[in-house]
Structures are given as structure tokens and as C-alpha cells.
Amino acid sequence: MDRTSLVFTRLLVPRFSSLLSFSFYSSRKTCGSQRNQYRNYRPSWPSLFGRPATDASIVATNKEFLIKDMGVCENKLKNPRTRLIMTKESGVLEERVDWLRERLELKENEIKKITQRHPDILDLRPDTNLAAKLDYFQTRLLLDDESLRKIILRNPQILRRNTLDGIEPKLKWLQKRLDLDDEALSKMIQRFPAILENSIPDKLEPTLDWIQHRLDLSDSGLSKIIQRMPNLSSCSVDTNLGLKLDWLQQRLDLDCAAVSGMIQQYPPILGCSIPNKLAPTLDWIQQRLSLTNDTLAKFVQRLPALFGYSVDANLEPTLNFYIEALGDKSEALILLTQNPVLFGVSLEKRLKPRLEEARVAGLDIDAGCLSRIGKYTNKQWIASVDFQTRQLPPEQ
């Protein structure tokens, strides 16, 4: 063997040996995180021969593009995955940004938001990765272009997940566990795309089992709650859900069945903060309506959605409306205490316009009239005003 051949052999053999070892390793049955870490590895000729894959000028250009043009925080660029994308050939990152913007019809601030949160997405090739994933999500979840755009904006990291090994098994598990058809599954995922980030054995399964057991729910009852509030699947049982349920039971002196009934009527209760929402709302209702602990519990059980109302923007103005309309605070409190649902109607769209109609028609504004104003459908209200008007004595 001549000297040139000997040098060439010494240079290449270790490189190819390393490459073959890598191929053997990546083909073994390893855990998902290990396998995904190496699946898209493509050795370049420069790295194969021991020369730097990218010169410093290209790294500097890509870094400038990410920081100045896309607004990526410099600390994000210290992540190993992000450092890798800065070695891409000049113009590659710009092309991938343009492709995502066009495919998802993103505004400038939207594509920047995605890039700022997850710059490593730009490591994925549109032709061999992104295009297929977006088509999969759109087809599997029955999404139109706008719905697909919203899902990616809310949870862009989903693009890094393997659809075959990571996403599809979770979709099938959720469908089976919650007895969902494709349309119901799609609606749930659109409400909370991050549910697909949760592990089945470590998060989804134990959390759903706990909720079902704690609230004594049937399979259909659990399904209804999770469809309405899929983010509950990501909540901590010990430091979130369990604490709220225990607090509600103690504050309202309710048994498990009563609390379960409230949650089934209005699942968003479990998304409310105790100090910022649950406690101040109950304190306001009890104080302003002069309720005992017992009457407070009964009142809230009849309309658990009260926890979703703002005290300043909804409850207080609505209470004042009834007091001013009746001209008697005590009478207004009695009306509302007996009819919690009267807090659940729009002040601007229903209460005020109908009160004006009643006054124009010459009707007596009493508790019965205000009850009809709040409870009646449009058809019922029109018929009621017509009937009451015909009962009025003729003008002299």
C-alpha cells in the first residue's frame, strides 16, 4: 500500500467505523427519547472528514437572523438543538420560516412568536418532515386551514413529536378511554392541544382515573367533563385538583356527591384559583346577599356558573340593576336569592333593553316583571308584553 492510500485509510476507517456503530445503535429498540434524538441525523462530508461542518461566518449570520429578525432570546440559542440550527447553510432558516408562514397563513408576529418559543422547529425540513406532519394533523383531526393554524400557534412544539409513535397512540387511547368519535376528539384537541404532550402512563391515565374516582363519575360523566375542560388532564392531583375539591367541601359544608354535582354542572370551577376567584366570589355573594353558610351552599349549587362571573364586571352591576329597578334593596335580595339564574343573563343585551320595553309599554315593574325579563326567551317575552299590555285599563 503506497503512502497516499495509507493516509486515506487511516483517515476514513475510524470515521466509517463510528458511522456504522451509530447506525447499529439507532436501529436497536431503544426508548423513544433516545431513538428520536438520532433519527434525523445526517452526517455531512465535512464532518466525516474531520473538518468543521460550518464556518463561523454562517453561524454568525444565522444567529443575527434569529435574534434581530425573529426576536429570539439569546439564551434560547444556548440550547443544544438551537445551536445545531445555526450551522445550517446560509438562507436555509429564512426559507423554512417563509415556508411555515405560507403553509399556515401566519402573520409576521405569529411566525415570530412560534420561532421565539421554539426556534428548534427550524431544524425540521419542510419536504421530509413538516409537510407530512401538518397533513397528518389536518386529516386525522378533521381540521380546516384556520383550525390547523390555531393549533400550531397554541402548541408549536407538537411539530417536533413523532406522529406514528408519539401522537397517534395518544389519540387512539383518548378515543377509547373517553368513548369519542373523530369529531368529538378533534374538538377536544382544539380546545387544549397540549393534552398531546402528556404521557399516557405517567399523566393521562392516572389523572383521569383519579378524577373519575374522586367525583364518583360514570365513564360518560368523565368524558363530558374532560371534553369540556381537557386541560384538567394536565393539572396536578395533589397540589391542584385535590386541594380545590377539599376546600369547596369544607367552605360550603358539602359531601362528595354535592361537590361532584357542582363540578359536573360547571367543570371550569376546577380551573379557578382559590385565593383569586373561588374565595372572593363566595365571600361577595354571602356578604351582598346576606346569606347564611347553609343558604350560600344551596344558592351556589343551583348556579355553579357563578364562579365564572366577574364580581366587578358582572355580579355587582347586575345586583345594582335589580335594586334600582325595584327601588327596594330587600325586595331585590329576596328575588335574587330565590332565583340565582337571574345573575346569569346579560345586563346589556337582555336586562336593560327589556326593562326599557316594559316601561315604554306601561307595565308595572315589580318582582314578577323582572323575573320574566330575566328568564323568558325572546318569543315568550314578546308574548308576555303583548298580553300584559292588553290587560291594562284603557286610557281616559
Residues 6+ apart with CB under 8 A from 393: none
Could you tell me the three cell numbers for 68?
434581530
| 327 torsion bin: left (phi>0), alpha (psi -120 to 50), beta (else) | left
Q: How far apart are CA 280 and CA 307, in angstroms?
A: 10
Give the pLDDT of residue 395. 64
Compute how many other C-beta atoms are within 10 angstroms of the C-beta atom of residue 253: 11
* Interatomic CA distance for residues 330 and 258, integer angstroms: 29
Cβ 303 vs Cβ 337: under 8 Å: no
Rounded to a whole number, what is the distance in angstroms from the first to the last CA of the chain? 127
- pLDDT at residue 50 in the model: 35
C-alpha 139/C-alpha 152 separation (Å) is 14
Give the H/E segment covering residue 228: helix 219-228
pLDDT at 11: 42
- Amino acid symbol at 128: T
pLDDT attached to residue 52: 43
Single-letter code of the amino acid located at 277: K
Q: Which residues contact 224 (CB under 8 A, 6 or more apart)?
A: 264
Q: Is 391 exposed, middle or buried (0-12, 13-18, 19+ CB in 10 A)?
A: exposed
Residue 159 one-letter amino acid: L
pLDDT of residue 396: 45
Distance between CA 373 and CA 168 in Å, rounded?
Answer: 50
Orientation angle between helical segments 329-338 and 316-326, nearest 10 degrees: 120
Residue 265 is predicted with a pLDDT of 97
Q: Is 142 in contact with 180 (CB distance < 8 Å)?
A: no
Output the pLDDT for position 134.
97
pLDDT-flagged residues of the chain (< 70): 1-54, 395-396
pLDDT recorded at residue 148: 98
What CA–CA distance (Å, rounded) separates 247 from 381?
40
Helix H or strand E segment including 3? helix 3-27
Q: Phi then psi for 96, rounded to 5 degrees?
A: -70, -35
How far is Cα of residue 334 from the mean position of the Cα atoms in its chain? Answer: 39
Report the C-alpha gap between 237 and 314 in whole angstroms: 31
How far apart CA 77 and CA 82 sit, in angstroms, is 5
Q: 79 near 120, Cβ under 8 Å? A: yes
Q: Give the number of other CB atoms < 10 A from CB of residue 249.
A: 14
φ, ψ for residue 329, nearest 5 deg = -65, -45
Centroid of chain to Cα 351: 32
Strand ranges (E), 12-164: none
Q: Look at residue 211 in the predicted model and tell me its pLDDT.
A: 98
Q: 112 and 70 in contact (C-beta within 8 Å)?
A: yes
CB atoms within 10 A of CB 148: 19
Each residue's pLDDT tens digit, 251-303: 999 999 999 999 999 999 999 999 999 999 999 999 999 999 999 999 999 99
